[in-house]
Structures are given as C-alpha cells and as structure tokens.
Amino acid sequence: MLGYEFMQRAFWAGGLIGVIGPVLGVFLMLRRQVLMADTLSHVSLAGVALGSFLKLNPALSGFAMAIVGALVIEQLRRVYRTYTEVPVAIIMTSGLALSVVLMSLNPNLSKSFSSYLFGSIVAVSDTQLRLIAVVAAVGIIFFVGLRRPLYNFAFDEETAAVSGMRVSLLSFLFAVFTGMMVAAAMPVVGVLLVSALIVLPASIALRMATGFLAAMGIAVVVGLSGVFSGLAASYYLNTPPGGTIALILLGFLIMAVIFQKLLRLQNRRLIQKINRNRSHKNYEEI
Amino acid sequence: MLLSSMRDVMFGYGDQAVVENLSLDIHSGQFVGISGPNGAAKSTLLKLMLGLIKPWSGSNVFKRVLEDGSRISVGYVPQQVASFNAGFPSKVIELVRSGRYGRLGLFKRFTSADHEIVERSLKEVGMWEYRHRRIGELSGGQKQRICVARALAQEPQVLILDEPTTGMDVASRTDLYRLLNDYVKYKGNTVIMVTHSLDEIGPYLDQVVRLERKGNEGWRCSVTNSCSARFGQEA
C-alpha cells in the first residue's frame, strides 16, 4: 500500500491533519463552535468552485475562501452575541448555495467535485500536500507558542480581556487558522466529513482527559489512529476515505463511552464493597 | 489615585436603558462594595467600568497605566464564572496556574516563586487539598473559590469580583471577606465587589455604591463613603 506515491501523500497529509485537526477541535468545542468546521468546509467548496469557474488554482481559491468565511463568521459572532449559532447557519447555507450555483454553470466540473465532497486519496496533489504541511507548521507554532493565552481564551474571554490579553487579535488569528485547517483537510476527508476529523477526537478527549494537556494528547492520539486506520481501510475496502475515517472515529467514541461507563460501574462496586466490609467490621466490633 | 471615573454614563440592552446618568468615582486602595436589587445593572456597571461594554453616552475612564508607565494589573472574577463548562478539561491547579500566565508571558518558565504564589492562593481560599481534582467535579461554591484563587494568583493591584460568594457557606464567605480586607488594608490594593450581603461585608467596606430604583425615575446610583460605624447611612 505504501509503495504507491499517492498513498504516501495521503498518509503524510492525513498524519499532519490528524495532529493539528483534533487540537483545533478541542478549542472549537470549548468555544462552542463545533459547527464552524462544517460551515467552513462548505465555504471552501464554494471557493473551489469559484476557482474552477475563474480558471484559478481551485485548491488556493478554496483556501482563501475558507479564511474569508472564518473572518466573516467571527465578525457576525459579535453582532449576534446571544444567538452565536446564527452566523454559522447563515454562512453555511450561503457557501453551499454559492457552490451549487457555480457548479451548475460549469457542469464538466461536477465529477471532480465528488472527490471534494467525500474525500479521495488520489485527490491529494503535491500543491495540496505542501499547503497541508504549511498549515501544520503554522498550527504547531500557533498552538505551542500561544498555548497560555489560548488556555485563558478558551476558559473565559472576559477575564482574559480584563487581564490585558488582546482577545480580539487572538479571535482573529484563531478564525484565520480554523479556515486554513478546514481548507487543508478537505481533499483528504471531504467537505461533508471534515468536521468529523476535527470534532470526534476532541469529543473523546474531553470525555476522558483529567487535565488540559492530557486532553490535547488524547485528541491527537485518537485523531492519528483514526486517520491512519481509516486510510488503510479505505484503500483495501475501496471506500471513500472521509466516510471510513469518520466511521472509525465514531467507533472509537462509542468504545470510549462504553469503557467509561464500565469503569464507573466498577468504581461504584468497589466503593460499595469497601463500605460493606467497613460496616461488617463495625458490627463485629460491637 | 483616581482609578475609575464615570460621567453621565448611559447604557442599555436593545432599546431599554438600564443605566442612566451614572456618575461614579472610585479611588485606589479602597474596598468598594456595589449593591442593589436584582436587575439593578450591578454586573453591567462593572463591565462598563472595565470597558468590556461601551456606554451609549457619557465618559468612562479606567486607569490601566501608572505614572511610571507600568501597567496596572487587574483581576476579574465575573458573575457565574463558576458555572463554566463543567467539561472544561482542567485540574484545579492548572486553572489557578493560568492566573500567572499574564505575568509570565508566552515562554517564561514557572519559577519556585510562581509555584509558591499559586500554592498560597489556593490555600488562602481553602482549596489546596483539591488541587488535583478536575474542576468540573467541584461544587458551585468550590468553583467560585478556585476562580478567586486564580484571580489572586495573578497578584492584581485591582481585584474586581461579581458576586463571588454565590454558593459559598457562611464560614467560606467570612474567610473571603477577611482575605479581601487584608488584600486592601495590608497590601494597598483595590477591591471592587458586587454583593448582595451588605450586612455581612459592610464592616469591611470603605465605600458602598448602591444602585436603587427611584419611583418612575429609573435607576439611581448613590454612593456612601462609609466606615463600619457610618455604614448604612444615606448618601
């Protein structure tokens, strides 16, 4: 499998996304913006369609459009403070509508768009791999370098702002990076499932982790495991990689929930046993 | 030093004004209590003061820089911050350590002095034993206490708290009042606190800001510069 160049590219791309995507997902979940990734993938698709229509590089136009979409959502979030899901809905439908219209104007492109919708291993071109590598490098610098402000920012924006942090600037950078990440991940997992790769590992991590760093670590391990096993399964079963990765991650989530429930049950039984022994001992002493 | 100065401030939500013609001065080195019934815009007043929201009209100046050019460190514990996302993946000690981040910047390492400050802050609010617990597992009162500890770890010159005693028992409340009083009286810092328990905290306060409704005239702000003996007198 790894003898093929396109598979090597897919594993490199998936590995890089599998590290950064889940970390981004943890922050998106904590900021209650889980649908942001889904929305931006639709916006990015509109960018790809626009690029094709205007004879530009579709990967780059999709990338640029996702960043613009993220910034517009961030701006609208300030307008709709009480209903923060409203901007997401507005931009998602706008992105999808624009994609559909642009695609209908150029019907020859429809076939290649299915690879964007559902992800395709062969869709990862050299340009896209380079873009993903750049995004991953930016992501590592962003999340490692700004880990302290990002923690305070995710915990509570108001206290962060009062303590002197430049919350607006960080929000802006966060939105830009989210757009970049979504656009980069799209060719591998597809428009419809890009948020699965970002959100599912994060939701497992938030269930299991005891601390903040642990949450990041678990999210990355789950993300990488899901991507690598999903890509391999997709190759052997000839299934779309996005769907395969998402199903595997979903399986991980179900296993995590069951494991946690069993662990709690075991702990409860242990406590009951200790209490029983204690009361038995007290009874014997009396 | 004049820390906060508001002149004829007006602010509201939608088209409904909740603060009208508010003028208020707060000086540094004082323990200031802000009181009033529910809906009296106490939290809004704090947010206006801190510049988190902008007034419709009037002027608002909150001093952030001293004469020597150094920044005034401000710690803030908002109302209901303790109801933060129960799933926030953090241990108590991690959260309180984050109070030091502003002073340490992006890359400076924690020194033993920083660790001591974190430990002292947690001990001051009686939460040191809980330092390895996940914050989501704590009760409402305990969450409030770690949020206060986080603000204290910041070592702010100005500490602003919005009903920090919500969910705390009487003993914890009394301990907190004494702690804040020492923070003002012995360390020369400023504490501004929204509270419903003027009867409990009254003896410690230097200034009381009361927000009250005056018939159909809307909300009125009256300021009582009081010591414990004068507390309760009209402005």
Q: What is the pLDDT of residues B2-60, one digit of tens each?
A: 888 888 888 888 777 888 878 888 888 889 998 888 877 888 889 999 988 888 988 88
Can you list the domains of chain A with their CATH numbers? 5-285 (1.10.3470.10)
Residue of A nearest to B107 (CA): A145
Structure tokens at A118: 């559902």
Give chain B's contact residues with A (Cβ, < 8 Å). Answer: 47, 50, 52, 64, 71, 73-78, 81, 84-85, 87-91, 94-95, 98, 101-102, 104-106, 134, 151, 154, 160
The whole-number pLDDT of residue B231 equals 32
- CB distance from A151 to chain B under 8 Å? yes
Nearest to A139 by CA among A267, A279, A16, A6: A16
Q: Which of B76, B89, B154 lies at the smallest CB-CB distance from A206?
A: B89
pLDDT of A117 strictly over 90:
no
pTM of the predicted protein model: 0.83
Please state which of the ranges A71-85, A201-215, B101-115, B179-193 shows the lowest mean pLDDT: A71-85
Q: Which of A18-27, A52-61, A151-160 holds the top average pLDDT?
A: A18-27
Give the CA angle between residues B81, B82, B84 to the nearest 5°: 75
Please state which of the ranges A63-72, B15-24, B178-187 shows the lowest mean pLDDT: B15-24
Stretch A199-214: mean pLDDT, rounded?
90
The interface predicted TM-score of the complex, written ipTM, equals: 0.81
How far A233 CA sits from the closest chain B CA (Å)? 32
pLDDT of B215 strictly over 80:
no
pLDDT of A98 strictly over 70:
yes
The whole-number pLDDT of residue B229 equals 31
Q: Which of A2-11, A26-35, B145-154, B193-202 holds the top average pLDDT?
A: B145-154
How many of the other CB atoms lie within 10 Å of CB of A231?
26
For residue B10, the surrounding DSSP H or E stretch is: strand B2-13
Q: How far apart are CA A23 and CA A32, in angstroms?
A: 14
Q: Which of B71, B91, B104 lies at the smallest CB-CB distance from A164?
A: B71
Best residue in B3, B46, B53, B98 for a mutation probing chain A (most A CBs within 10 Å): B98
Best residue in A31, A155, A213 for a mutation probing chain B (most B CBs within 10 Å): A155
Mean per-residue pLDDT of chain B: 82
Stretch A218-228: mean pLDDT, rounded?
94
Q: Which of A146, A165, A211 lies at the smallest CB-CB distance from B90?
A: A211
The whole-number pLDDT of residue B114 equals 92
Q: Is B75 exposed, middle or buried (0-12, 13-18, 19+ CB in 10 A)?
A: buried
Which residues of chain A does B134 touch, with a Cβ-Cβ cutoff of 8 Å? 210-211
Nearest to A199 by CA among A75, A33, A44: A33
* Residue contact A164–B154, C-beta within 8 A: no
Give the CA angle between residues B9, B189, B161 to the nearest 5°: 55
Cβ atoms of B176 and B206 within 8 Å: the answer is: no
How far A118 CA sits from the closest chain B CA (Å)? 32
Helices (H), chain A: 5-30, 35-53, 58-79, 85-105, 110-118, 126-145, 147-155, 157-162, 167-189, 194-208, 212-237, 241-285
Tell me the CB-side half-sphere exposure of residue B103, using CA atoms within 13 A. Answer: 22
* Residue contact A164–B74, C-beta within 8 A: yes
pLDDT of A163 strictly over 60:
yes
Residue of A nearest to B157 (CA): A163
pLDDT band for A110, please (50, 70, 90 cuts).
low
How far B52 CA sits from the closest chain A CA (Å)? 7
Q: Where are the domains of chain B?
A: 1-72+157-235, 84-155
Interface of A with B in 258-277 (CB under 8 A): none
pLDDT of A128 strictly over 60:
yes
Name the class of domain B1-72+157-235: alpha beta
pLDDT band for B103, please (50, 70, 90 cuts).
confident
- CB distance from A256 to chain B under 8 Å? no
Give the C-alpha distances (Å, rounded to integers) separating B135 from A75, B143, B146. Answer: 31, 7, 9
The whole-number pLDDT of residue B235 equals 35
Residue with tokens 């402000």: A149
Which distant-in-sequence residues (6+ apart) come within 8 Å of A204 by Cβ?
Answer: A218, A219, A222, A249, A252, A253, A256
Which distant-in-sequence residues (6+ apart) come within 8 Å of B126 by Cβ?
Answer: B145, B172, B175
What does the pLDDT look like over B116-147, one tens digit per residue?
Answer: 999 999 999 889 999 999 888 888 888 888 99
